[in-house]
Amino acid sequence: MTFQQRLILLVTGLVLLAVAAVTVAMAWTTRAALTERIETEARQAAGMLARGAAQARDIPQEVDALLSERLLSEATLTAHLVALAEAAKLPPRAINDRLKQIAEAGGPDEMWITDNRGRAYLHNQPGPDPTFGQDAKGGPRHGTYAGLLNRSPAALASEPAMEGGRLMKFAGVAGVDRPRIVQVGAEVRRLGDIVRKSGTDGLIDGLLADRSVEAAWLLDRDGRVLARGVVVGDAGGGPLSDADTAAAKAAAVGGEAALRAAGDGLLAFAPVKYAANSAAAASQAGVPAVAVVRLPYGEPGAMMSRQLKIGGLVGVFVLALGVYACVRFARDQMAPVERLGEAVKAVEAGRFNPFTLNEAADRDDEFGRLSRVFRRMAMEASAREETLDAQLVMRGAELETKSEKLAAAEQLIEEEQRAARDVQSNLLPRQLPVGRDSQFYGVLLPGDTVSGDFYDVIELDERRSLLVTAGVSGGGVPAAFLMLMVRGAIRETARAGLAAGLGPAAILTGANERLCGESPFNGFATAFVAIYDRVAGTLVHAAAGHRGACRVNAEGGVEFLSAVGGPALGVRRGAPYGEATVILNQDESLFLCTDGVLRSIDGQRDAFGEERLAATLAASRGMSARDRAELVLRTVHAHTQSGGVIAGDLVCLVLRRLLPVSETAEAV
């Protein structure tokens, strides 16, 4: 993916993330606000219905009391009026006409005045004169009474219509001038309408009028529905469930408002609280105890869904606009980078033109600064390249001259190596002792450079032989000359001490003193010296820092003899050397080698070492001296096959005892 594509994805992703975050936050906030508003409205509606129910219980009684007081006052006034009229000697007809005028002018709807026998001879109603108490059928429909005759206003709404379609309420008083009954009546059908409008049904109808409330109920303390209302066509006004009824009872008992989600609506419960003087009546069955309203509760989710859809549409629009803007911006920003890329290729091809970066270098931003720096570096690099080309030509000529000198030097070194190798091979014994009592075999495989390793066998007399293996430090011609000095020092010391019977330790001591005093080279040599008596089979030996000397018995056991002796030759003047004696029995051998055998390594830088040497010699049981030496050399070469290195010259010298000691003694 290119940088331009990553930039476009990053910017559009951030824009989408911001739009999504803002949309979700606004939708969630709006949903929370709507939910809180609906819950508040539900509590207010339930509380309003509860307060209206409490007041609706008291209003009819108060209206009835006021109406009763008014009728009583009108009856009293009518009694005084009739007394005055009769005192004025007005005839009954004139009084009746005046009563009719009073009724038509807004007075009582009916007025009845009886004589002392109960006959209503004065009234404003047409028809015969009824008798109160004697002819109940001919009197008012309310029958005989004493004092006031009142009806319960709460029952007025359901009272059957009277004859003529009138519903009346009466009040009466005794006459003021003689024994009589003065009764007045008022039509109370309008009072029934007022009761209905101010009662619970009116409250519920008014609450449902604006359709913000889906349904409303009034329940008593036992959960029975006393009144209910529902918006026409609304499915949420069905009967309350058992859980809803239980919640209503709990609200009535607890006296606290509560909310409960029911389907896609929200139910609010508010207890009806009555005044102290009517609280006892309100605790009875059939009295409203809790108001329940149901409001639609799906608006928050719908609003949140709408806002998320709007946010999605806005996100799509912003995404399209952002992709377009990002593409334009990325192209404008990546133009200098593309110019720089082309300039890099031109520099690599050697055809860079500084003017191709003018447009990018004129920008006043990071890309402009980068273009100016690159143009300067490219011009400097081109100049340095031209200078280097010129210097390369000069260095080529110098290198050619030095190569010729190096070839001449290598030829000279090769000649010196060849001379040193000739010296080394010429100093080896041309012929080793032979006889039926012992076998001798020595071999030297020179390394890539002459390292100065050698072996020597000197016959001291008819029965004794001196065996020597040595390795010198360094390589090349100096190592060859140091080898000459070591060989000469050992030979001269051995011949000088032949008559005196010097042993290997004395020979090494003398050779060390001579090397420390006469050697012009800053080097040293390791050596192993042994005097072998072929008659007795004894072997007296000493080592000067030399390893790789072994005694191999007939069963294949290996014993290293390099521990007896002292330090390397030419290291320290006056160093002491020790010696030891072993006896070689029949088929036992002495194996000597230099450090080149032990220090040769394989591909894992693991040296051949004494353990592998001992294992190889143990496997050479019953072999001749030659076969044993060649087996060791083959094993060393196999060890270094996989990326290994042969550490200098490989020298092996093997002595094998053939005859037992008893036969040798008889032969002497």
Is-contact 113 188, C-beta < 8 A? no
Is-contact 47 271, C-beta < 8 A? no
pTM: 0.43
Residues 471 and 460: their CA atoms lie apart, in Å, by 22
pLDDT tens profile 78-113: 889 988 988 888 898 898 898 899 988 888 888 889
* pLDDT: which is higher, 341 or 456: 456
Domain extent at residue 215: 199-297
Q: How far is CA 121 from CA 96, 117, 130, 184, 356, in A?
A: 9, 10, 8, 14, 131
Nearest to 259, CA basis, from 19, 43, 101? 43
Region 514-535: what's the mean pLDDT? 85
pLDDT tens profile 255-285: 777 888 877 778 888 888 876 655 445 555 5
Instruction: Give domain status of residue 318, yes or no.
Output: no
Is-contact 442 652, C-beta < 8 A? yes
* Mean pLDDT lowest among 105-109, 158-162, 226-230, 573-577: 158-162
Looking at the fold, whether 177 and 203 belong to one and the same domain comes out as no
Looking at the fold, whether 655 and 584 belong to one and the same domain comes out as yes
**Element housing 470 (H / E):** strand 464-472
Copy the structure tokens of residue 136: 């109940």
**Residue-wise over 241-252: b if at least 16 C-beta within 10 A, else e?**
eeebbebbbebb
pLDDT tens profile 302-312: 777 777 778 77
Instruction: Give domain status of residue 188, yes or no.
Output: no
Side chain identity at residue 79, one-letter code: A
Looking at the fold, whether 436 and 410 belong to one and the same domain comes out as no
Nearest to 216, CA basis, from 290, 324, 145? 290
Cβ–Cβ contacts within 10 Å for residue 483, how many?
25
Q: At what angle do helices 200-208 and 3-87 cross, to 10 degrees?
A: 150
If one counts the domains in the chain, the total is 4
Apex CA 234: angle with CA 299 and CA 207, to 5°?
80
Instruction: Give domain status of residue 321, yes or no.
Output: no
Looking at the fold, whether 21 and 106 belong to one and the same domain comes out as yes
Instruction: Give domain status of residue 343, yes or no.
Output: no
Cβ–Cβ contacts within 10 Å for residue 315, how many?
20
Q: How far is CA 573 from CA 30, 513, 529, 541, in A?
A: 105, 6, 19, 21
pLDDT tens profile 149-179: 334 444 444 444 344 456 778 888 888 888 8
Residue 660 pLDDT more than 70? no
Q: Counting Cβ atoms within 10 Å, is residue 67 exposed (0-12), middle (13-18) or buried (19+)?
A: middle
pLDDT value at residue 147 = 33
Domain with residue 454: its CATH number is 3.60.40.10
Looking at the fold, whether 414 and 438 belong to one and the same domain comes out as no
Copy the structure tokens of residue 205: 């109808």
Cβ–Cβ contacts within 10 Å for residue 173, how many?
22
Convert 328-365 into a string of H (helix), E (strand) and C (coil).
Answer: HHHHHHHHHHHHHHHHHHHHHHCCCCHHHHHHHHCCCC
Rg (CA), the chain: 70
Give 177's contacts (C-beta < 8 A, 6+ positions apart).
Answer: 83, 86, 87
Region 38-49: what's the mean pLDDT? 78
Phi, psi dihedral angles at 172 (to 5 degrees) = -140, 155
Helix (H, G, I), strand (E, B) or coil at 237: coil
Backbone CA torsion sign across 509, 514, 517, 522: negative
Q: How far is CA 337 from CA 299, 349, 365, in A?
A: 54, 18, 13
pLDDT value at residue 613 = 92
- Residue that has been written with the tokens 């353990």 in this structure: 611
The C-alpha torsion from 381 through 386 and 388 to 393, rounded to 10°, is 160
Is-contact 237 267, C-beta < 8 A? no
* pLDDT: which is higher, 666 or 72: 72
* End-of-domain residue from the set 399, 420, 441: 420
* Mean pLDDT lowest among 379-383, 458-462, 574-578: 379-383
Strand order in the sheet with 258-262: 225-230, 215-219, 290-296, 265-271, 258-262
Looking at the fold, whether 230 and 102 belong to one and the same domain comes out as no
Apex CA 499: angle with CA 495 and CA 500, to 5°?
105
pLDDT tens profile 462-498: 888 999 999 888 776 777 778 888 888 888 888 887 7
Strand order in the sheet with 589-593: 438-445, 650-657, 589-593, 550-552, 558-560
Copy the structure tokens of residue 126: 């047409």
Copy the structure tokens of residue 392: 């390369």
pLDDT value at residue 135 = 43
* End-of-domain residue from the set 367, 390, 420: 420
Distance between terminal CA atoms of the chain?
A: 98
Looking at the fold, whether 12 and 62 belong to one and the same domain comes out as yes
Looking at the fold, whether 450 and 509 belong to one and the same domain comes out as yes
Looking at the fold, whether 459 and 565 belong to one and the same domain comes out as yes
Instruction: Give domain status of residue 98, yes or no.
Output: yes
* End-of-domain residue from the set 279, 297, 315: 297
Copy the structure tokens of residue 176: 């003021």
Cβ–Cβ contacts within 10 Å for residue 445, how many?
16
Looking at the fold, whether 368 and 465 belong to one and the same domain comes out as no
Looking at the fold, whether 160 and 57 belong to one and the same domain comes out as yes
pLDDT value at residue 280 = 47
Q: Tell me the pLDDT of the chain averaged across its residues.
A: 78
Domain with residue 280: its CATH number is 3.30.450.30
Copy the structure tokens of residue 332: 């404008």
Looking at the fold, whether 117 and 148 belong to one and the same domain comes out as yes
Instruction: Give domain status of residue 305, yes or no.
Output: no
Instruction: Give domain status of residue 317, yes or no.
Output: no
Instruction: Give domain status of residue 192, yes or no.
Output: no
Q: Which residues pair with 583 in a beta bridge?
A: 538
Complete DSSP assignment for 368-385 = HHHHHHHHHHHHHHHHHH
**Element housing 123 (H / E):** strand 120-123
